[in-house]
Structure 1
Amino acid sequence: MEALFASGHAADIVLAALLLEALWLRLRGWKVADLLTMLLPAALIVVGLRAALVGADWPWISAPIALSFPVHIADVVRRRRSL
Protein backbone atom coordinates (compact mmCIF):
# COMPACT_ATOMS: atom_id res chain seq x y z
CA MET A 1 0.00 0.00 0.00
CA GLU A 2 2.86 2.36 0.78
CA ALA A 3 4.28 1.92 -2.72
CA LEU A 4 0.88 2.66 -4.26
CA PHE A 5 0.84 6.08 -2.62
CA ALA A 6 4.56 6.84 -2.89
CA SER A 7 4.46 6.27 -6.64
CA GLY A 8 1.39 8.45 -7.11
CA HIS A 9 -0.59 5.55 -8.57
CA ALA A 10 -3.28 5.96 -5.92
CA ALA A 11 -4.06 9.35 -7.48
CA ASP A 12 -3.98 7.75 -10.94
CA ILE A 13 -6.70 5.34 -9.82
CA VAL A 14 -8.87 8.25 -8.66
CA LEU A 15 -8.29 10.05 -11.97
CA ALA A 16 -9.29 6.89 -13.85
CA ALA A 17 -12.47 6.68 -11.76
CA LEU A 18 -13.27 10.31 -12.61
CA LEU A 19 -12.75 9.56 -16.30
CA LEU A 20 -15.04 6.53 -16.11
CA GLU A 21 -17.66 8.64 -14.35
CA ALA A 22 -17.41 11.29 -17.07
CA LEU A 23 -17.79 8.67 -19.81
CA TRP A 24 -20.76 7.06 -18.08
CA LEU A 25 -22.49 10.40 -17.57
CA ARG A 26 -21.77 11.42 -21.17
CA LEU A 27 -23.38 8.20 -22.39
CA ARG A 28 -26.41 9.09 -20.27
CA GLY A 29 -26.77 12.38 -22.16
CA TRP A 30 -24.90 14.90 -20.04
CA LYS A 31 -23.41 17.86 -21.90
CA VAL A 32 -19.62 18.04 -22.10
CA ALA A 33 -19.61 21.56 -20.62
CA ASP A 34 -21.60 20.37 -17.62
CA LEU A 35 -19.26 17.43 -17.11
CA LEU A 36 -16.18 19.64 -17.31
CA THR A 37 -17.36 22.16 -14.76
CA MET A 38 -18.52 19.41 -12.43
CA LEU A 39 -15.55 17.00 -12.61
CA LEU A 40 -12.58 19.18 -13.56
CA PRO A 41 -12.13 20.74 -10.09
CA ALA A 42 -11.83 17.28 -8.54
CA ALA A 43 -9.43 16.15 -11.25
CA LEU A 44 -7.23 19.22 -10.73
CA ILE A 45 -7.12 18.65 -6.97
CA VAL A 46 -6.13 15.02 -7.52
CA VAL A 47 -3.40 16.12 -9.95
CA GLY A 48 -2.07 18.38 -7.18
CA LEU A 49 -2.26 15.47 -4.75
CA ARG A 50 -0.34 13.27 -7.17
CA ALA A 51 2.36 15.92 -7.48
CA ALA A 52 2.65 16.06 -3.68
CA LEU A 53 2.80 12.28 -3.37
CA VAL A 54 5.71 12.00 -5.80
CA GLY A 55 7.61 14.89 -4.22
CA ALA A 56 7.19 17.51 -6.93
CA ASP A 57 8.17 21.11 -6.32
CA TRP A 58 5.53 23.32 -4.73
CA PRO A 59 4.41 25.11 -7.94
CA TRP A 60 3.40 21.76 -9.45
CA ILE A 61 1.36 21.04 -6.33
CA SER A 62 -0.26 24.44 -5.86
CA ALA A 63 -1.01 25.37 -9.49
CA PRO A 64 -3.62 22.68 -10.23
CA ILE A 65 -5.19 23.15 -6.81
CA ALA A 66 -5.42 26.91 -7.37
CA LEU A 67 -6.84 26.39 -10.88
CA SER A 68 -9.58 24.18 -9.47
CA PHE A 69 -11.15 27.14 -7.65
CA PRO A 70 -12.26 29.24 -10.66
CA VAL A 71 -13.62 26.12 -12.34
CA HIS A 72 -15.54 25.28 -9.17
CA ILE A 73 -16.96 28.81 -9.09
CA ALA A 74 -18.01 28.45 -12.75
CA ASP A 75 -19.85 25.26 -11.78
CA VAL A 76 -21.59 26.98 -8.88
CA VAL A 77 -22.66 29.86 -11.14
CA ARG A 78 -23.88 27.41 -13.80
CA ARG A 79 -25.93 25.49 -11.25
CA ARG A 80 -27.32 28.68 -9.73
CA ARG A 81 -28.55 29.84 -13.13
CA SER A 82 -30.36 26.54 -13.70
CA LEU A 83 -32.51 26.99 -10.58
Structure 2
Amino acid sequence: MIFAFYTSPHLIDLILVFTLLEGIILARWRRLPARTVTVMLLPGLCLLLGIRAAMAGAAWPWVPIALTGALVTHIFDMHDRFRR
Protein backbone atom coordinates (compact mmCIF):
# COMPACT_ATOMS: atom_id res chain seq x y z
CA MET A 1 0.00 0.00 0.00
CA ILE A 2 2.78 2.47 0.84
CA PHE A 3 4.47 1.63 -2.46
CA ALA A 4 1.32 2.69 -4.31
CA PHE A 5 1.70 6.21 -2.86
CA TYR A 6 5.24 6.49 -4.22
CA THR A 7 4.07 5.66 -7.72
CA SER A 8 0.94 7.83 -7.70
CA PRO A 9 0.61 11.46 -8.79
CA HIS A 10 -0.43 12.34 -5.23
CA LEU A 11 3.21 12.24 -4.18
CA ILE A 12 3.88 15.04 -6.69
CA ASP A 13 0.93 16.96 -5.20
CA LEU A 14 2.61 16.73 -1.80
CA ILE A 15 5.92 17.93 -3.24
CA LEU A 16 4.12 20.85 -4.93
CA VAL A 17 2.59 21.87 -1.59
CA PHE A 18 6.00 21.76 0.12
CA THR A 19 7.53 23.78 -2.71
CA LEU A 20 4.87 26.46 -2.32
CA LEU A 21 5.48 26.50 1.43
CA GLU A 22 9.20 26.89 0.70
CA GLY A 23 8.40 29.92 -1.45
CA ILE A 24 6.33 31.49 1.30
CA ILE A 25 9.06 30.86 3.87
CA LEU A 26 11.74 32.28 1.58
CA ALA A 27 9.70 35.39 0.90
CA ARG A 28 8.96 35.99 4.59
CA TRP A 29 12.13 34.82 6.34
CA ARG A 30 14.71 36.10 3.84
CA ARG A 31 12.54 39.12 2.99
CA LEU A 32 12.86 38.43 -0.72
CA PRO A 33 10.43 40.09 -3.12
CA ALA A 34 7.59 37.84 -4.21
CA ARG A 35 8.64 38.26 -7.86
CA THR A 36 12.14 36.96 -7.12
CA VAL A 37 10.85 33.90 -5.28
CA THR A 38 8.26 33.20 -7.98
CA VAL A 39 10.78 33.41 -10.83
CA MET A 40 13.17 31.21 -8.85
CA LEU A 41 10.64 28.44 -8.12
CA LEU A 42 8.58 28.40 -11.34
CA PRO A 43 10.92 26.20 -13.43
CA GLY A 44 10.86 23.48 -10.79
CA LEU A 45 7.10 23.76 -10.39
CA CYS A 46 6.66 23.36 -14.15
CA LEU A 47 8.88 20.26 -14.12
CA LEU A 48 6.85 18.82 -11.26
CA LEU A 49 3.63 19.49 -13.18
CA GLY A 50 5.10 17.66 -16.18
CA ILE A 51 5.98 14.66 -14.02
CA ARG A 52 2.53 14.73 -12.48
CA ALA A 53 0.86 14.83 -15.89
CA ALA A 54 2.92 11.84 -17.06
CA MET A 55 2.21 9.86 -13.88
CA ALA A 56 -1.51 10.63 -14.03
CA GLY A 57 -1.79 9.53 -17.65
CA ALA A 58 -2.84 12.95 -18.90
CA ALA A 59 -3.17 13.63 -22.62
CA TRP A 60 0.24 13.75 -24.30
CA PRO A 61 0.37 17.52 -24.99
CA TRP A 62 0.44 18.37 -21.28
CA VAL A 63 3.93 16.99 -20.70
CA PRO A 64 5.60 19.04 -23.49
CA ILE A 65 3.60 22.11 -22.44
CA ALA A 66 4.91 21.78 -18.88
CA LEU A 67 8.47 21.22 -20.11
CA THR A 68 8.24 24.25 -22.38
CA GLY A 69 6.96 26.27 -19.43
CA ALA A 70 9.97 25.10 -17.41
CA LEU A 71 12.34 26.18 -20.19
CA VAL A 72 10.76 29.61 -20.61
CA THR A 73 10.66 30.32 -16.88
CA HIS A 74 14.24 29.08 -16.50
CA ILE A 75 15.35 31.53 -19.21
CA PHE A 76 13.56 34.36 -17.35
CA ASP A 77 15.24 33.26 -14.11
CA MET A 78 18.70 33.24 -15.71
CA HIS A 79 18.03 36.63 -17.33
CA ASP A 80 17.04 38.02 -13.93
CA ARG A 81 20.12 36.60 -12.20
CA PHE A 82 22.65 37.78 -14.78
CA ARG A 83 21.10 41.24 -15.05
CA ARG A 84 21.98 42.03 -11.42
* TM over 0.5, shorter chain: yes
Paired with 1:32 and 1:21, the residues of 2 have a C-alpha distance of 12
Paired with 1:2 and 1:58, the residues of 2 have a C-alpha distance of 25
Question: 2:36 matched to which residue of 1?
Answer: 34
Asked if 1:61 corresponds to 2:63, the answer is yes
- 4+ long deviations beyond 3 Å: none
Q: Deviations over 1:22-65 (max 9, x none)?
A: 01011121111101110011001101100101111111111111
Structure 1 stretches of 5 or more lacking a match?
none
Q: TM-score, normalised by structure 1?
A: 0.89
Residues 6 and 54, structure 1, Cα contact 8 Å, conserved in 2: no
Q: TM-score, normalised by structure 2?
A: 0.88
Alpha-carbon RMSD across the aligned residues, in angstroms, is 1.2
Question: 2:13 matched to which residue of 1?
Answer: 12
Whichever residue aligns with residue 32 of structure 1, its letter is: A
Residues 26 and 32, structure 1, Cα contact 8 Å, conserved in 2: yes
**Most deviating of 73-82 and 4-13:** 4-13
1:79–1:37 distance in 2 versus 1, CA, 3 Å: same
Question: 1:77 matched to which residue of 2?
Answer: 79
Quote the sequence identity (%): 33
Instruction: Give aligned pairs, total.
Output: 82
Paired with 1:81 and 1:7, the residues of 2 have a C-alpha distance of 40
Whichever residue aligns with residue 18 of structure 1, its letter is: T
